[in-house]
Structure 1
Amino acid sequence: MAVAFGAVGFSQAQAQPRAQGLDVWVNPGHSSSGKSYVYAGRAAFRSDGDTFAVHDDEKDGYGVQLFVHATKKNGAGRGCGGAGCSPAPPVFLPPPCSALSGEPCGSGGDGASARGMGPAVKVPRGPEVDVERTGRQRLPSLTGLRFFLALPVLVSHLLVDVAPFADADVHTALYPSQTLAACAVSGFFVLSGFVLAWTHRPGEPVRAFWRRRLWRIVPAHVLGWAGGVAFFALTSVSALPDGVPTDCGPRFGMISLLLLQGWTPGTALDACFNSPSWSISCEMFFYALFPLLVAAARKIPAARLGLCWAALAAAVLTLPLTALTVAAPALGRGVDLGRDSMWLCYFFPPMRLAEFMLGIITARLVAAGRWPRVPRALLLVLPASAVGLAPLCPPPLRYGALGAIPLALVIAHLALADGCETPRPLARPAFVALGEASYALYIIHWPLLLAFRYLLGYERAFTIPTSLALAAACAVLSQLTALIVYRFVERPLNRRFARRPARTAPGPAGAVGGPAPEHAGPAA
């Protein structure tokens, strides 16, 4: 691993230490190309020789702390100050001593720059820098990706489950959108494992982790559950708009509130109160096991991570096939599996664990600099092919498994792209803002859709243009509601209860520490 320091615009008055800082970049691999570096954050320091901690004090960052020993003399741009001072380019150099780089302490420790990576800069010796243990950069592209994973779920529920079309053939033609939505949920599981592993802080108490996870998911879940309870209590409907019966009694209400749908055959299929919350039932199972899973993942030698990833990918594709052993009449509506078979391959939490673990190992591969380069064209072709080839695959594979592997490749590519100077469309502020509210959109849209359709009249059907216009209006209403829920419910509670406490860097007095908030899949 290599570390890079670049000074950024010192203020005119050196008496303002808070205006001083260093940009810190890290290279998880061994490439001498500057484009292999990823941005670790802005580091503030108080005096020469201080140990500083890169930290991210944004409201929704993926950063954790990276401790580096350095002085303000490192990097270019010294003396730059005043209004209009532009940041100097980063200076790349290998670390004085790094366990990951394979260089022994004292070898190359004078801070001489790597070939083609900027001028030599003297760096005082300091503690080892382990990017897998302490340093991660923000990943805004993954936040933007969350919106595009939640969107297919919303669209599928709008066009298939709410069913506003008068033409039954149009309704039937839209059934394949369910496969796209299922692949998106699978992508959420992989993304959840990736981000939790990426932001993991070794040594953090397990109870503290679980407490943050609960505060992250429970408030919006309770809000969505309450909306569903209110809808079914006030309307007394016994079926969805497309005719699928529901059985939403008090027993199912408690199962849904406690997020036990995935463990109860049939409950998740009944769309009781808040249908999408079944996936949060799976996430709760993942969170319970995560401390053990990430500890085990960290013990895997870097050279064997690729083999482990391949084994998990094979498990993702083969485990759902066990549902074929359960014989039952097909559910219909584009679902070629029986009730119990569908529960086993899609809703049952242990069956989805391999996707979450795939995300954990993907994060380790990226952090260790061992993720292979995947052509961008392939990143577009593989997810599209997974959806397009779904009708030719065994039915259990159509509900999530096909999307996990292509989306794992996309997630790793976006994580790497966030550290390069390449264009990053998903990192634009608009997409990041939508991504931040993606969990609220995912968890509260179902009761909104049911209420919207009920007000229109369950018995009414509409022409294609009118149906699409109504669906668009309902989608906009759902998104606006999600933004409000995120702004006034999720974010205040997360800041109050779900953030890590600031940690002080080890080393000389005056070290600077910082918080490390994180987000994960639809449920994190």
Structure 2
Amino acid sequence: MSTAYEAPSPPASGFAAAQHPSVASPPTAAEVHRFRQDIQGLRALAVGPVVLFHAFPKLLPGGFVGVDIFFVISGYLITRILHQEIADGRFSLTSFYVRRVKRLFPALYLMLATTLIAGLLLLPPAALDEMAKTLVATIGFASNLQFYRVSGYFDGAAELKPLLHTWSLAVEEQFYLLFPLALVTVARWAPRRLGTILWGGAAASLAACLWWMTWDPSGAFYFPFTRAYELLAGSIAAVAAYPRLRDGRVGDALSLAGIALIVGAVLFLNERMAFPGWLALIPCLGTALVLVAGEARPALGGRMLSAAPLVLLGSLSYSLYLWHWPVLVFARYLALRPLTPIEASAAVLLSIALAALSWRFVERPALALRLPGWRILTAGAATMAAGVALAGPVVLTDGVGARFDPAARALLAAQHDISPRRADCHSSEWDPIPYARSCALGDPKAVPRVAVWADSFGAEYAVALGERLAARRGSVLEVTNSGCPPSLDFAAPDRDRCVAQNRELLRQIVADRRIDTVILIANYLGYREASLTNEAPLVAGIGAATRALRGAGKQVVIVGVIPRMPFETPAALGLLRQRAADPASFGPARAGFDAASASTTTALRGIATQTGARFIDPAAYLCDVTRCHGFDPQAGALYFDHAHLSLAGARKLIAGAPPVARR
């Protein structure tokens, strides 16, 4: 998120143009602070798609690239100002941070304070505790590292983290901890190498990002050194470290090409693609082209971006970025389900209203302050300390759990009703457990005759089945792997290695003479949602696995589509109880689930019929004629999140439909 603190400024500057032809001569102070309406339009082109993407993900699937646009703008504007100050001999690190405090802190801390108050009213303890920790990290401009730490598969839905959007502020501020000093160093020791150093830094950052994405995509997304190339793209544009434009028609063409790249990224990129990496260069290059094209004179594309509505939206961009995300998150907590289009539209309008008020009565007055720098820095430090002091008690009390009565706290605790053997028996995305080390659950003296082959949906099922078999001196082998359904040759999203893993698992299960029954479980609706395609390849792979197992003489049990809840189940149940509502009312309508699962259920039944396998329909035991339930008065919460059955839910399903006949 761009937080450049000066009026959108421009032309390119450098340390020593006379000494190096690839770096432009420093412009005058008036040129540096020249207001560029096209940059405000660029900001609108960044924040608008981000907000719409967060409110209506299917409307603009690539709207998330707005953050990358902001990074380039920020790198451009701040580099321009710093370069001019260094060239004039008036650069001061203290002054730099004074401007940052004036630009960032007032609106940011107003949002943080409001979010903390809203969290006390609306969030369950675990979510409030995490938000308070994130608030402290945000104060230290380290929330990106906090979100990286909790970016695992089961660390909660991103759309329910009220401060998730602060990660980009943290990336910027971490970048600006070193960047001004780096510029001063280059100016002192290698002014002729400025362009080369910026290009080299950007290339190194991009290379690091591409390498990191091969083994740690979350790190590549959140780390400042893997996103630095985006900010440096703006820096390169700022110092004119490229061939100079001589023809205005070329500038017009470049500005239009830049807008086309940005619009194309917004419309055609999506979350399923590997990002940032190479793909992030599309919006970054587009933004840089617009910035470069408008340096000497307003280019055609820049004049289009200078339309009054875009300039106004660009003026609100920082405040709108700050407010829109927590408003959307808290709206979801009020609804306890995905927002309808009308509700999402209302949340966006409220965000715009809050942004306008924040801009008019907080941002502008703060920027207009004319106080000694030491007072501003002291006030900033005091504000940071106050924020930590307010968030600290929330963390120390585990999210102020005393706000909820004992019955509500018992429902909330279902988030921990998971397999106690997940850490050592369930394969993570990147560290599969070899078949030879698969866990046998149940009677420790029994030889496992049954195997649960599944993705993460099978972990709790295997434990619950092990409990049932232990009473008969039996056990079950758990062969579960996050994100890898037991579907031959099916490449799950971001899990290309599943194809080879499943081929090897099938070979070993077939060769394992201990196993006579194999239970297949998969997150069918989740893969459809993640890939936005039909279930045909997934179901075809289930059929191939079933036929191979049956051909080897194994009995096969296919567990059908497990209903998904509209919200994190323990949180929803606890909040409903706290609101004096009936937890049994929580869950999707049966008709909607039947419509969503009909084709998959029909196909799986067909596979079972053709191969002689057994089919279990979870909906027959987890749903009634009107609703699929997340809560059972006798069993309790049936899910530990929005999709995975809790141990209680797995026990209920197994009790209703035992997958293994009594011997």
TM-score tier by shorter-chain length is 0.5 to 0.7
CA drift at 1:344: 0.9
Match runs of 1:439-454 below 5 Å: 439-454=318-333
Matched-pair contact (CA < 8 Å) for 1:132–1:367: no
357 and 130 in structure 1: CA distance in 2 versus 1, 3 angstrom threshold: closer
CA drift at 1:197: 1.7
- 1:474 equivalenced with 2:347 (yes/no): yes
Match runs of 1:143-162 below 5 Å: 143-160=40-57
CA drift at 1:391: 8.0
Q: Counterparts of 1:498 and 1:147 in 2: how far apart (Å)? A: 31
Aligned length: 343
Q: Counterparts of 2:242 and 2:8 in 1: how far apart (Å)? A: 14
Query: For residue 234 of structure 1, what is the amino acid of its counterpart?
Result: L
Q: Counterparts of 2:78 and 2:235 in 1: how far apart (Å)? A: 8
In structure 2, the partner of 1:212 is: 99
In structure 1, the partner of 2:116 is: 229
486 and 389 in structure 1: CA distance in 2 versus 1, 3 angstrom threshold: closer
CA drift at 1:444: 1.5
Q: Counterparts of 2:246 and 2:284 in 1: how far apart (Å)? A: 17
Q: More deviation in 390-399 or 282-291?
A: 390-399
Answer with 1 or 2: which has the greater Rg.
2
In structure 1, the partner of 2:312 is: 433
Q: Which structure has more helix as a fraction of its residues?
A: 2
SS in 2 for 1:138: coil
User: What TM-score, normalized by structure 1, do the two folds share?
Assistant: 0.56
Query: For residue 426 of structure 1, what is the amino acid of its counterpart?
Result: L
SS in 2 for 1:199: helix
- 1:61 equivalenced with 2:7 (yes/no): yes
Query: For residue 27 of structure 2, what is the amino acid of its counterpart?
Result: V
In structure 2, the partner of 1:167 is: none
Matched-pair contact (CA < 8 Å) for 1:323–1:342: yes
CA drift at 1:228: 2.2
Matched-pair contact (CA < 8 Å) for 1:186–1:403: yes
In structure 2, the partner of 1:351 is: 226
Matched-pair contact (CA < 8 Å) for 1:441–1:479: yes
- 1:487 equivalenced with 2:376 (yes/no): no
CA drift at 1:427: 2.6
In structure 2, the partner of 1:413 is: 293
Q: Percent identity?
A: 25
Query: For residue 277 of structure 1, what is the amino acid of its counterpart?
Result: T
Match of 1:184 among 59, 66, 76: 66
Aligned alpha-carbon RMSD (Å): 4.0
Q: Counterparts of 2:185 and 2:105 in 1: how far apart (Å)? A: 27
Q: More deviation in 295-304 or 249-258?
A: 295-304
CA drift at 1:249: 5.5
SS in 2 for 1:351: coil
- 1:275 equivalenced with 2:171 (yes/no): no
In structure 2, the partner of 1:293 is: 182
- 1:142 equivalenced with 2:39 (yes/no): yes
Query: For residue 361 of structure 2, what is the amino acid of its counterpart?
Result: F
CA drift at 1:473: 2.9
385 and 391 in structure 1: CA distance in 2 versus 1, 3 angstrom threshold: farther
Q: 1:119-148: CA deviations, max 9, x gaps?
A: xxxxxxxxxx95277742322211222122
Match runs of 1:100-119 below 5 Å: none
Match of 2:77 among 195, 203, 215: 195
Matched-pair contact (CA < 8 Å) for 1:143–1:432: yes
Q: Counterparts of 1:61 and 1:461 in 2: how far apart (Å)? A: 36
Matched-pair contact (CA < 8 Å) for 2:10–2:77: no
SS in 2 for 1:477: helix
Q: Counterparts of 1:431 and 1:300 in 2: how far apart (Å)? A: 42
Q: More deviation in 371-380 or 433-442?
A: 371-380
In structure 1, the partner of 2:489 is: none
In structure 2, the partner of 1:518 is: none
Q: Counterparts of 1:259 and 1:345 in 2: how far apart (Å)? A: 18
Q: Counterparts of 1:410 and 1:315 in 2: how far apart (Å)? A: 24
- 1:458 equivalenced with 2:404 (yes/no): no
CA drift at 1:158: 1.0
Specify every segment of 5 or more residues in structure 2 that has no aligned partner in the other structure, as ranges.
20-24, 374-663
SS in 2 for 1:349: coil
CA drift at 1:495: 0.8
Matched-pair contact (CA < 8 Å) for 1:229–1:273: no
CA drift at 1:421: 9.0
Match runs of 1:498-517 below 5 Å: none
496 and 142 in structure 1: CA distance in 2 versus 1, 3 angstrom threshold: same
SS in 2 for 1:350: coil
Matched-pair contact (CA < 8 Å) for 2:93–2:180: yes
Q: Counterparts of 1:389 and 1:159 in 2: how far apart (Å)? A: 15
In structure 2, the partner of 1:266 is: 149
Matched-pair contact (CA < 8 Å) for 2:332–2:338: no
User: What TM-score, normalized by structure 2, do the two folds share?
Assistant: 0.45
Q: Counterparts of 1:487 and 1:293 in 2: how far apart (Å)? A: 35
Query: For residue 136 of structure 2, what is the amino acid of its counterpart?
Result: M
389 and 298 in structure 1: CA distance in 2 versus 1, 3 angstrom threshold: farther
CA drift at 1:480: 1.8
Matched-pair contact (CA < 8 Å) for 2:41–2:305: yes
Matched-pair contact (CA < 8 Å) for 1:262–1:278: yes
Q: Counterparts of 1:315 and 1:498 in 2: how far apart (Å)? A: 40
Matched-pair contact (CA < 8 Å) for 1:224–1:443: yes
CA drift at 1:476: 2.1
In structure 2, the partner of 1:131 is: 27
Match runs of 1:63-102 below 5 Å: none
Q: Counterparts of 2:294 and 2:225 in 1: how far apart (Å)? A: 27
SS in 1 for 2:149: coil
381 and 421 in structure 1: CA distance in 2 versus 1, 3 angstrom threshold: closer
Q: More deviation in 148-157 or 266-275?
A: 266-275
Specify every segment of 5 or more residues in structure 1 that has no aligned partner in the other structure, as ranges.
1-58, 66-98, 103-128, 161-172, 240-244, 327-340, 501-524
Q: Counterparts of 1:130 and 1:402 in 2: how far apart (Å)? A: 29
238 and 156 in structure 1: CA distance in 2 versus 1, 3 angstrom threshold: farther
424 and 132 in structure 1: CA distance in 2 versus 1, 3 angstrom threshold: same
Q: Counterparts of 2:115 and 2:368 in 1: how far apart (Å)? A: 27
In structure 2, the partner of 1:365 is: 240
379 and 223 in structure 1: CA distance in 2 versus 1, 3 angstrom threshold: same
Matched-pair contact (CA < 8 Å) for 1:225–1:257: no
CA drift at 1:486: 0.6
Q: 1:163-198: CA deviations, max 9, x gaps?
A: xxxxxxxxxx56x72x431x2111111111100122
Query: For residue 286 of structure 2, what is the amino acid of its counterpart?
Result: P
Query: For residue 436 of structure 1, what is the amino acid of its counterpart?
Result: S
CA drift at 1:399: 7.3
64 and 346 in structure 1: CA distance in 2 versus 1, 3 angstrom threshold: closer
Q: More deviation in 149-158 or 131-140?
A: 131-140
226 and 284 in structure 1: CA distance in 2 versus 1, 3 angstrom threshold: same
CA drift at 1:313: 5.2
By relative contact order (CA 8 Å, sep 6+), the higher-ranking structure is: 1
492 and 298 in structure 1: CA distance in 2 versus 1, 3 angstrom threshold: same
Q: Counterparts of 1:371 and 1:292 in 2: how far apart (Å)? A: 33
Q: More deviation in 273-282 or 469-478?
A: 469-478
CA drift at 1:325: 4.1
